[in-house]
Amino acid sequence: MPVRNKEQHRTQRIGWLRAAVLGANDGIVSTASLVLGVAAAHATHGSILLTGVAGLVAGTMSMATGEYVSVHSQADTEKAELALERKELETDDKGERKELSAIYIGRGLEPALAQQVAEQLMAHDALGAHARDELGISDTFSARPTLAALASAISFAVGAALPLLVVALAPHASLIPFVSATSLVFLALLGGLAAYVGGAPVMTGVMRVTFWSALAMGVTAGVGALFGTVA
């Protein structure tokens, strides 16, 4: 009998997709907002470009550091929970079997079948069964700090490079409309791609990303214009 190919579910992409989309989106929004704010304050073309490059470097390091620390904290919590569960399995095996059976009963299995399932799963991999069904920890959703940090850093740098490229090529007099328009196009494409890969409605993703990004850039440009006028 031929073995069926393993199904590929979108949930397997959640970890890296979240980090990559967040990084690229933040790279575009923060860098575009930064250069728009400086441009609205009547800075020179060179100063605007230098500010954008500094924002790219600082943002890349910040994203990598923040993602690594936060995801590592999650990983530490998972390790602590697994260590506690391992100890409980060693000291109260019978109670842990009842606990697992109760979980399956709560999900709709008959008590006898729930006990049988719990017995067989614990005989195969007791810690794995409790990690998955009691703690909600699985290989698909487990924390991977290094992967998340790399995905965030690289995607932020790529996202930030897009408005910087526009700054470098656009005429100084038309820099604000060029950066604003192209950044919104980049963000709309990113939102649509993320929604498509994740299986969500594409237009919803596009509209959500575009609206909030336009608001962020508008506020930053307004602040830059205000302080530039005051100065």
* 2 part of a folded domain: no
* 211 part of a folded domain: yes
Whose CA is closest to 160, among 35, 31, 60? 31
* 4 part of a folded domain: no
Query: How confident is the model over 148-202, as pLDDT tens digits?
Result: 788 888 999 999 999 999 999 999 889 999 999 999 999 888 888 777 777 778 8
* 22 part of a folded domain: yes
Structure tokens at 229: 């006028």
* 3 part of a folded domain: no
CA distances from 38 to 29, 41, 62, 212 (A): 14, 5, 21, 20
Distance CA 212, CA 181 (A): 14
Number of domains in the chain: 1
Instruction: Count the neighbouring beta carbons within 10 Å of the beta carbon of residue 87.
Output: 10
Question: For residue 99, what are the domain limits?
Answer: 10-230
* 77 part of a folded domain: yes
Query: How confident is the model over 122-137, as pLDDT tens digits?
Result: 888 878 777 787 777 7
* 68 part of a folded domain: yes
* 1 part of a folded domain: no
The pTM assigned to this predicted structure is 0.69
